[in-house]
Amino acid sequence: MSEAEAGFALPDIPAVADVDPATTDLASLKASQRMKIPRQAMACQEPEARTRNFREVALGFSAEQARIEAARCLQCKTPHCVEGCPVGIDIPAFIKQIEAGRPQEAGRILKAYSPLPSVCGRVCPQEKQCEARCVVGVRGEPVAIGRLERFAGDALLDGETLLPDVAPPTGKRVAVVGAGPAGLTVAGELARKGHKVTVFDAFPKPGGVLLYGIPEFRLPNAIVDAEVRALQGLGVGFVMNTLVGRALSLAELRKDYDAVFLGTGAGLPKMLGIPGEDLKGVYTANEFLTRVNLMRADRFPDHGTPVTVGKHVIVVGCGNTAMDAARCAKRLGAEVTVAYRRSVAESTARREELEHAMEEGIIFRWLHTPIELIGDERGWLREASCAVMELTEPGPDGRRGVRDTGERLVLPCETIIIALGCAVNPLLPRTESGLRTLRGGVVVVDEATGETSLPGVYAGGDVITGGATVILAMGQGHRAAEAMHARLMA
């Protein structure tokens, strides 16, 4: 990106100055002064304390910190940060309101684009999206857009609830299958446009992966619940404990509703395919996190769902889900090792999650992968035999492969958690022959509209991509909602 494209000339100055919002007119700061302001550090629980509780680790910005961080934004004429946002949030506009001391107004701007700003501000990979496009990051650290989004979203939840305007009823009925990020996005946008929306989900509470897949220390359930209540305030209805494809067919929904959206996610865990995976003490990350996050196994026996965690736990994989599982196991009292067949450079976990895990004492064994699980005479897992790997030269796609060195390492473990990602649940494709899918059950959609091979049926989120991010699922939900509205009003 050139300086002309950014709308100003980048000054050649270090980012070392402090700004006191109580004595400084932030609005009068010039670009050269804004570039001097250091990125604000967000307070966190200390590692030794947080490994003994499930409370949120990152504590958020204070009002003063938020205004200082907002003052770092240069309000570019061409805001490339917006291009990096899958839902196209007007980032300069909401940040400007924070700088002016109006966080709830900033929250209302966010709500016009995203139904879940407090969620996205906590779990989305901003460093790879909006912040990666921030021009301030050319010479220093980018503006902390995600942390400011969290601040503004929370201010809206904490303040007086002001629902966005809702269009007059259209008389059209929409069914949304799946109460995860994509489904909630579609529900919120179509409800605001005057359509009657009903969300169906197999779980007892709305939220999908936000509730069962992400621990409270990263995303408190109360935040998800508050965002869902806002949707209910718009008139969105929820039918829970209902598995579409079993309790209710897609054909029935198509008959009873004017349009249908599929946001069923990717819930079929991938396994290692090695001897011993049938031993007791072997979990998929999906099962382990669902037991802890949604069924409150962390509070057993006060809650009826137990989870077995021995003295030694191995987590296989190194994405964000693997970090969540490892950090949960640590809080349940185990010594936790992450085994990953590649190096840290190839891991897909967010840098912040890796850093937090390392601070909490998680052990990382890079270039190691289990090849056999060994149990005792009662069928309980006791050891994992791991192959030591080495990286190969990069392939045509630039990604380095791995190969077995022949060296072996046996690690003690009473519990192993397999976090290798998920494929699409095949239930709906199996019960609806007209729904076109690719290998692995991924639903085929029109790239411009999100419409499937079934007229009036749309899809988005992990069901069309495989496991991906919350904000990407929301972006696909936004695209589908626009197309569905156009169809309904035609």
Q: In a structure prediction context, what are the per-residue pLDDT tens digits for the chain, which is 490 residues long? A: 333 333 444 333 334 456 676 677 777 888 888 888 999 999 999 999 999 999 999 999 999 999 999 999 999 999 999 999 989 999 999 999 999 999 999 999 999 888 899 999 999 999 999 999 999 999 899 999 999 999 999 998 876 555 678 899 999 999 999 999 999 999 999 999 999 999 999 999 999 999 999 999 999 999 999 989 989 999 999 999 999 999 899 999 999 999 999 999 888 899 999 999 999 999 999 999 999 988 887 887 787 788 889 999 999 999 999 999 999 999 999 999 999 999 999 999 999 999 999 999 999 999 999 999 999 999 999 999 999 999 998 888 878 889 999 999 999 999 999 999 888 877 887 888 889 998 878 899 999 999 999 999 999 999 998 877 888 999 999 999 999 999 999 9
Who contacts 79 (Cβ-Cβ below 8 Å, separation ≥6)?
Answer: 90, 91, 92
Alpha helix segments (H runs only) across 297-350: 320-331
> Residue 390: which region, alpha, beta or left (left: phi > 0; alpha: psi -120 to 50)?
beta
**CA dihedral in degrees (208, 209, 214, 218; nearest 10)?**
-70
Q: Per DSSP, which regions of 297-427 are E strands?
A: 312-316, 335-340, 363-366, 368-375, 381-394, 400-412, 415-418, 422-423
CA quadruple 18, 24, 26, 31: dihedral positive or negative? Answer: negative
Domains of the chain: 3-158 (1.10.1060.10), 173-267+423-489 (3.50.50.60), 271-418 (3.50.50.60)
Would you give the end-to-end CA distance of the chain in angstroms? 41
Beta pairing, strands 43-44 & 58-60: antiparallel
Bridge partners, 412 (sequence order): 383
Beta pairing, strands 400-412 & 381-394: antiparallel
Q: Residue 439: its pLDDT value, please?
A: 80
Q: Residue 22: its pLDDT value, please?
A: 66
Are residues 348 and 320 in contact, defined by beta-carbon separation less than 8 angstroms? yes
CA quadruple 334, 339, 340, 345: dihedral positive or negative? Answer: positive
Phi then psi for 56, rounded to 5 degrees? -60, 135
The model carries a pTM of: 0.90
DSSP state of 22: T
Residue in 453, 450, 438 with CA at minimum distance from that of residue 479: 450
CA distance 149 to 146: 5
Q: Residue 160: its pLDDT value, please?
A: 57
CA distances (Å), origin 189, targets 114, 207, 455, 483: 9, 16, 20, 11
Q: Residue 7: its pLDDT value, please?
A: 40
CA distance 52 to 128: 31
The two tokens of residue 434 are 């007209």
CA distance 473 to 459: 10
Are residues 368 and 339 in contact, defined by beta-carbon separation less than 8 angstroms? yes
Q: Residue 11: its pLDDT value, please?
A: 38
Are residues 315 and 324 in contact, defined by beta-carbon separation less than 8 angstroms? no
DSSP state of 256: H
Bridge partners, 391 (sequence order): 402
Are residues 242 and 324 in contact, defined by beta-carbon separation less than 8 angstroms? no
Cis amide bond preceding 181, omega within 30: no
